[in-house]
Each structure stands twice: as C-alpha cells, then as structure tokens.
Amino acid sequence: MTLTGTIALCILAAYVAGALWQKVRLGITLHQALLYLPLKLAYRIDDSRMRDARKAEAPVVYVVPHQSRLDPALMLSLLPEDTLHILDEASARSHWLEPWRELARTIVFNAEHVFVSRRLVRVLKGKGRLAVYLPDEVEPDVKAFRLFRAVAHIAHRADAKVVPIFIGGSRNLPFSLTPREKAPRKWFPRLTIAAMEPATISELMARNVTQPARASNALFDRIAEARFCASDPRRSLFLAVRDAALRTGASYPILEDPISGKLSYRKLFIGARLLGLHLASVTAPGEAVGVLLPNSNGLVATLMGLASGSRVAAMINYTAGPAAVTAAVRTAPIRIIVSSRKFIEKANLDDIVAAAEKGSARILWLEDILKQASIMDRIAAALFWRWPVHAQDASKPAIILFTSGTEGSPKAVVLSGRNVVANAMQAEARISIGKDDLLLNVLPAFHSFGLTGGIVLPLVAGVRLYLYPSPLHYKQIPEVAAKLRPTIMFGTDSFLVGYARTAKNDDFSSLRFVVAGAEPVKADTRQVWRDRFGAEIIEGYGLTEAAPVVSVNTATHSRDGTVGRLLPGMKMRLEPVEGIAQGGQLQLQGPNLMLGYINPESPGVLQPLGEGWHDTGDIVTVDREGFITIAGRARRFAKIAGEMVSLGAVEALAHALWPEEQHAAVAVPDKRRGERVVLVTTAGEADASQLRQFAKASEASELILPHDIIKTAELPRLGTGKIDYGAVRRLAIEQLGSGEAAA
C-alpha cells in the first residue's frame, strides 16, 4: 500500500506540476490548466498562438469554426475565463463537457435569436468577450452565411476586435461533426490551433484594394486565413503527402491511370522510394532532374521520388517543340531526364529526346530503373516508405516549370516545396473537397495548373485522383467520365468546349463543379455545361509564378465574368496604368509566390523574387466584394494614337458576333499610329463592315474595332490549349506583308 500510495502521489505531483507549467506558459487559470493538460498530452496540441489570442484587448469576439465536439472543451480551457461562450444545444447539454462548462459563462445557441440580440452588443460594449462557434463549412450555404453576417454586424456595432481561431485536425477526430465519408477518422491526430491577430471589422473591410469590402465577406476571408494557417503550409511536398497518407490511411486507393490501374498511398510511396534512391545515386541534392512523362502513376511516383531525395523536378513541356526543349535543358540546367520508352514510342517523341540530348541531357528510362531494383531494395522500400531518402527543407527549390511563352521566350520558374504545398492548402481553404470526391485530371503536369491543382492538391487533401494522359482526346475523355463518375474536373475553356461537342448529356452529369483557368471562360461555354450536364464551371485565375492559383470562384462566392476572390494568405495592390481609368496592374505577395526565375542568359542562376511584390503584368479591376475581373495582360493592350485598347475586348466582340468560331487579336507596328489591331479568326464569313455594324448596335466603342481581319483555318495553340499569341502575331505580320488582310 505504501508503494502504491507513493506512486500515486508521484503521478499526482507530476500532473499538478504539468498543469502549473501550462498555467504559466499560457496564462490560463489553474482550474483551466488541470482540465486542459490531458487534452494537450493526448493530441500533442500546438497552442503557441493562444497566448497572444488571450491577450487580445476587449471588446473581442473569438470566432471558432465548430468541427468537433472537442472544440468547446479546448476553447473553454484556453480562452480567458470571463469569455461568454455561445454553445450549440448538444454542447450545452453534454454530460462529459460539464467540467469544462464550469470554467466560463455559457449560453445556448439559438439560430433564430442569439445573433440579433442586443444583449451581445451590450456585452461587448461593456468590454466583454464572446466566443462564437460557427458551422465548419468551407463554402457555407445561404443559411449558414447569415450567421457570418450577424457576427460581423455585432462586432462592427460594438467596434470589437475579431480573433478567428481554427483547430487544425479536429475534423478528423472520432467525434467530428463532418460526415465520416468526407473526413477520415483518427483517434489521436495531432492538433494545431491557429489564432489570427486581432482586427476590427472596419480594419478587415479596409483591406479591399478599391473600396471597403462587405463586413460578412471580410469576416469570412479572415476565417479562411485561419483555416489556411492551421494546415501547416511550411511542410515539404514529400512530408505533406506522407502526412495525408497517415491521416487518410496508407491502404487508401488514392491514384489511378488507364494503364497501371489503382495505387494506394503505400504503393505510391514504395515506388517513390525505389525511384528516389536510384536517382539519388546519380544526382546531387538540389540538382534539377528533368521529368518527361505524361499524366500517369509513374509520373506521380517520379515526382514523389525526387521530392523524397530533395531533388528538383524540372517539368519538360514535350508539346513545345524540339527547340524549346533544348533551351529548357540548357537553362535549368538538366543533366538527367526521367522518361518512359513506351511513352516516347507511343507519342512519337523521338525528336524531343534528340533535342534533350542535344542540350547535353541523358535519359534514364523508368522501365530500366524498376528492373534494376532487387528484392532487398523492394523489401527495404516497403519497410521505410514513410521516411524520405534525404533531409527535407521546404524552403529550397522543389519544382521548375517553364512559362507558356505566349508572348515571348519561356522562362524557368523556380518553386519551393513550401510554395506548392501552400498553394494547395490555400485552394483547400477556399474550395470544399473531401474524401468522397473523385478528381479527373486531364491537364498535363508541365502546366502549373495541372501540377498543383490536378496532382498536388488531391494528394495532400486525400481526394481520389484519376490521371488521363492527354487533354486532346475529345471523344475518349467524355467516355472516361461517364464510366468513372468523377465529382471534380479541371480544364480550360478550349478543352471544355471540345468535350461538350462530343459528349452525351449524361457523360459529365456526376460533376459537382469544374475548375477552369489558363484562359477566360466564355459565357456560352458556362451555359452549355450548366444546361447539358448540370455542372457549374468555377473560373479561377493564376500564373506559373504563383504556383499557380491566385483567385477562384466558389459555390457560395461566385460571379460570372470574374475570376473569383483572392486566396487566403495573399495580398494584392493595383498600380495605376496610364490610359486606363478603372483598375490597375495587379501586384501580389503570398507564400505561394515563386523563389525566382532562371533566365536562358544565365543558366542555373536563380534570380530571387525577394520580399517585394510580384508584378503579374495583368490589368484588373476589383469590386466591393473582392471579385477580380481581368481586363487583359498589359502586353495585351495596344496603344493607338495615345489610347489604350484591350485586345481581349476585341476578341470578346468578335466572339459575340461569331460565337462558334475562334478569335485572337494582336497588335502590330503601325508607322502612323504607333500600333494597329489585327483580328485573326477562323470565321470564314468574317467581314469588317458587319463587325462595325454589330459594334454600333452593341454600343461598343469604335476603338476596339480591328484595323485588319485575317482568316485562318485554325489558330496556333500551345500544348496547354492556350492560344499561342507569339505565333498569331507572326502570322498576322506575314499575312499583312503579303497583302492578304481584309480591310
């Protein structure tokens, strides 16, 4: 008995000592510390930001997305004891929560009355504190969004500071409020509490770059920032995907392609380790290794193998032509390229291989690497798949992508692992996706949209991914969709138009939404997908330098004709442009912005972006709700007799008159007026006088009428589906020189 008593006293003393340490460390009461300590130990909680949240000067409103039954217990333990907690009925009545409810004042949530009660405003004006638990929805419906409006209204009236608090990992607890099919369960996940700096609603509204934002939108965006911060975007690409595997389940079938079939996370990482070890034996850490592969399981395993070995994956655009491939190999520079004999043979890319070798690169074939792996190598990979081949540093280069070169020579864009993972987490904080989704990705991985959105995002979010090797198979892709029944798809306007032409009405009917980028989505494209397939196209905006997503529309925050609202964690400003009255040139900051460029003139030399703003070169406008509208590239404006003319507006006018055709407007030199606009179109019946009459009837400015019209059977396009404006401009100059333009 004496020994048992001694042991019990030691345990009790250790427990009290631990509670006292939490009290001192966080500034909470001893009663709070005694109840918080077991939660801290069980879930290894990162609560480093809570001390500052407690210090927020009253009046203050703590806004907590309610993900699990544990959340109120954590907040009652960590927030100041004079905070009034507004609990839902289940939390207010739960017997197990009773000890924690004794820590502070609580009232029962009443959706009909509590948020319009003047009592809450009086509490805040009396230097009080509120803790409000809102529904945990990335894209809240109309009813849920009323609560955001109510909370913002109360905080605004009381001039109270708002502190959003998000508990990362809470939705994966056994007592999560998210349906099991959307969020995998884990008994003891590591929790991360993200608390944003205090700010009033007025201060949040003033962050909009043109005019004060709506209070509800300002609050919603601030909560999205907290959600993003809790996701730990500082992890390397390998560790982010590995953590998703441990959270979702190593045996979960995460990946599939038409040739190799399905791969679980475990099998993916086993293959990645085999590849990573081999590539590590012939390359150095930080070295750029070329990837010349189509969308496939082998591509993803190669990417993860390079990430595991801290090598840089340089994505080769095999549709850009031999000259561009040789330039890319020399610019990076690249000694080793990973490819597949079957792919090269089937795609007839011998000239691309020759171009790579001309740039002094050596090809390593996936088939040979896998054959060389011994039984012991495979056993070791199966045992140690969780661990990377080389030490990880998320701040170092991880991916090299090459800009599309639509208006000039392609540049090498260098992205860190942190850039890519952060961008995926930013998108997940804005778009509602989950374990019950299936994403069909047809966009190539050498395109930043296809890489981050179509591969990295589903891998780190635990979303099943089906990779199709080419976006150009307009007949086969609808058939694949009809068989797979995907819920999400990525694409560009050009590709979506092509799929709609060949698809049956039920081929894409399973889609919840389609994320479109890379080029503007035409109104009739959006309407066709709505009417025929019941699928909503949510348009976004991005650039390779931003890894790439910058803004996106969502189900609850969407406006046709815009590219949505800025992702959480990013800042923007508009620089005035001479000759343009509304909007300005968009500049950005954010954790997803690249490390810098490598220019062909200085191979292998990184020109860092630094801590400043990145100039996108795009002219945009921003409305009160934060929706961004792209007016066009700064280079996509022509200066005619001192007036700035949007080439995008010229194309829009032509498309409105000839909607079934393709159009591209370019500016060419003009001795008298500086520049003149040329419309290159596939419309065989295109006529300048007809376009002039249509513009007059549409009350469009005469400034956007093209000086010349050139007809062609097909517009030049890049492998990504975007119009190759460099080639269009060369075509226009050539045709005008030969006198074949229509006046």
The single-letter code of the amino acid at 323 is A
Query: Do you find a cis peptide bond into 548, omega within 30 degrees of 0?
Result: yes
* CB-facing half-sphere around the CA of 116: CA atoms within 13 A: 4
**DSSP, res 209:** S
Q: Rounded to 5 degrees, what are φ and ψ at 44? A: 45, 50
Please choose, from the candidates 729, 468, 422, 386, the residue with its C-alpha nearest in 3D space to the C-alpha of residue 595.
422
Distance (Å, whole) CA 131 – CA 125 = 15
Terminal alpha carbon distance of the chain = 106
> Hey, what's the torsion of the CAs at 119, 120, 122, 125, to 10 degrees?
180
DSSP per-residue letters across 662-706: -EEEEEEEETTTEEEEEEEES-TT--HHHHHHHHHHTT--GGGS-
Distance (Å, whole) CA 375 – CA 378 = 5
Identified catalytic residue from 31, 66, 557, 614: 66
Question: 159: phi > 0 → left, psi -120 to 50 → alpha, else beta; which?
Answer: left
> Hey, what's the torsion of the CAs at 277, 281, 282, 286, to 10 degrees?
70
66 is catalytic: yes
Pairing relationship of beta strands 596-598 and 637-640 according to DSSP bridges: unpaired
Q: Where is 257: in which H helix or E strand?
A: strand 253-257
Between 30-43 and 71-78, two packed helices, what is the crossing angle to 10 degrees?
140
Residues 6+ apart with CB under 8 A from 497: 522, 525, 528
Residue holding tokens 């976004």?
540
Pairing relationship of beta strands 336-339 and 288-292 according to DSSP bridges: parallel
Pairing relationship of beta strands 105-108 and 83-87 according to DSSP bridges: parallel
Q: Rounded to 5 degrees, what are φ and ψ at 73? A: -60, -45
Apex 13 CA angle, 9 and 15, nearest 5? 115
Question: 172: phi > 0 → left, psi -120 to 50 → alpha, else beta; which?
Answer: alpha
Distance (Å, whole) CA 574 – CA 541 = 16
- Cα 217 to the chain's mean position, in Å? 20
Beta bridge partners of 573: 587
Residues 6+ apart with CB under 8 A from 635: 407, 617
Distance (Å, whole) CA 532 – CA 624 = 33
Distance (Å, whole) CA 292 – CA 445 = 10
Q: Where is 2: in which H helix or E strand?
A: helix 2-26
CA distances from 549 to 422, 569, 571, 580, 593 (A): 10, 12, 13, 26, 10
Q: Kindly list the catalytic residues.
A: 66
